Structure 1
């Protein structure tokens, strides 16, 4: 195992220390392992809290800041944060108008965020609404979740709801917007290699150099099928076919198209994939209104990518275009 770490037991603490040093505009609570925007709680604004296991950076810590999240809770690698962390984050961002929990659909995340919401209501009277993200069309069930997993659609949802919260929309409206984005988002991923969890020291699964895995999860879960390595155009078709048929997307629809790297794939290859995805969408007469290309929801050093399509209207596009100022996403500022 070759990794730029000191000790596997110290990876998260060391990474948070580095984040704090690189981004003094943030507040990093090492004890509770939460990352907060520096001005939280923001008066009159709904607080947005998300989080999950480490290893998916920049999700979620890279999305803390004006226009997106107020706090992110950091678990061990591929492990949910615990209720006490989530409670601390919720309390820290509560400005008296409620807090939205954005929760990816994994069993540990759902359970721990639910417990934290109950504790917040009982101990501080904070109104918390939770929205579960489940945009992955690859599988219905996995080792980590009952039902569909939350993957790339989470980034789109956090950006759009973050903008709505900045506009001082009330909690019920921001939560409903989150449900709309989730309902209109579909994702599918693939891998060329596995990843290695530092504490394990070996790849989560094995792939021959002639193989690729279709439908993988962001924790290194194997996909729905293993196939021979194909050109990008064929790989894009394998990802897009289940996405387009699931919502279903139709001629005349307008989408945000997000091509995401899994951590070990260079940007040049992601743009090759984006070109193929755009070609397929043109053939289906689905219009791309906005695009995002890059490694934003990763699985450590896994090589591969995912595609997310979110069907949008003018309000959702305006919220997507609204200013955002985080360490991983920044525009309009």
Structure 2
């Protein structure tokens, strides 16, 4: 195992110290329990938007903390859910009097721990709502979740709800928006290589030189099937077609296309894939109106990619374009 780390047992804490050093103007990083807060938290009379999950998916979630997106993120150990006390602390430190919305990826540990934290926060007098995202069309069940997994669509959900909260939308409105987005976003990914969790010291699975795992999860969980690695055109079709089967889109519909690197795929290859996806959607009369390309939901150093489609309307376009200022996403500022 070759990694730029000192000790597998302290890698998350060490990374959080580096995050604080790099983005101290935007973030307030706490260590016991580990919570990443926007520097100006709590914002009075604003709904606090909070998410989190296992580390190893950076910049998700800590890199999306800041104005126009998340108020706090709770980083667990690598590929491990954050604990209820982390989430409870995040709620307490970001509560501006308008309640909190928890965005939770559909993994069993995340759902249980965030639900426990919501109950504890409610007992402290904070109104808390929870929305679970399950945008992965690859599988119905996996090692980590009951039902579909929460993957690339999480980034889009955090941006859109964060923009609404920044504008002063109340808790009911933020929750309704989040549930609408969950209903019209779908994703699927593939892996060309496994990743190595630092404390494990060996790859999470094995792939032959000419194989790829289609429908991979962001923790290295197996997908739909293992198939021969094909051309970029074949890979993109293999991801896009199941999404379009699951998310009915008609000619003339508008979408946001998110082409994501799993961590080890360089941008030159990602742009190849994105261009193919845009062409295939255009052939169906589906209009790509907004785009995001890059490593935003990663799986350590895994080579691979995912595609996410979100069906757009005027309100979602306006919220996507709204200013955002975080370590990983920033525009309009």
Same-fold call, TM cutoff 0.5? yes
2:95 match: 94
C-alpha distance in 1, partners of 2:170/2:288?
30
Q: Deviations over 1:208-262 (max 9, x none)?
A: 1111110000001111111111010010000001000102122111000000000
Between 1:2-11 and 1:24-33, the stretch displaced more is: 24-33
Counterpart secondary structure, 1:95: coil
Deviation at 1:38, TM superposition (A): 0.5
Deviation at 1:274, TM superposition (A): 0.2
2:161 match: 161
1:184 match: 184
C-alpha distance in 2, partners of 1:250/1:130?
31
2:299 match: 299
C-alpha distance in 2, partners of 1:262/1:226?
17
**2:39 is equivalent to residue 60 of structure 1:** no
2:148 match: 148
Q: Deviations over 1:129-158 (max 9, x none)?
A: 000000000000001100000000000000
**2:222 is equivalent to residue 222 of structure 1:** yes
**2:40 is equivalent to residue 34 of structure 1:** no
C-alpha distance in 2, partners of 1:70/1:115?
19
C-alpha distance in 2, partners of 1:284/1:158?
28
2:20 match: 20
2:108 match: 107
Q: Deviations over 1:247-288 (max 9, x none)?
A: 212211100000000000000000000011011101111100
C-alpha distance in 2, partners of 1:249/1:266?
30
Deviation at 1:190, TM superposition (A): 0.3
Between 1:316-325 and 1:25-34, the stretch displaced more is: 25-34
Mark the runs of 5 or more structure 2 residues left unpaired by the alignment. none
2:193 match: 193
Deviation at 1:18, TM superposition (A): 0.3
TM-score with structure 2 setting the length: 0.99
C-alpha distance in 2, partners of 1:234/1:170?
44
C-alpha distance in 2, partners of 1:15/1:225?
34
Counterpart secondary structure, 1:243: helix
1:270 match: 270
Counterpart secondary structure, 1:88: helix
C-alpha distance in 2, partners of 1:149/1:28?
28
Deviation at 1:31, TM superposition (A): 1.0
C-alpha distance in 2, partners of 1:253/1:243?
15
**2:258 is equivalent to residue 246 of structure 1:** no
1:260 match: 260
Counterpart secondary structure, 1:289: strand
C-alpha distance in 2, partners of 1:158/1:290?
16
Counterpart secondary structure, 2:59: coil
C-alpha distance in 2, partners of 1:326/1:96?
23
Paired positions, count? 332
C-alpha distance in 2, partners of 1:262/1:80?
19
Counterpart secondary structure, 2:292: strand
Deviation at 1:160, TM superposition (A): 0.4
C-alpha distance in 1, partners of 2:35/2:285?
43
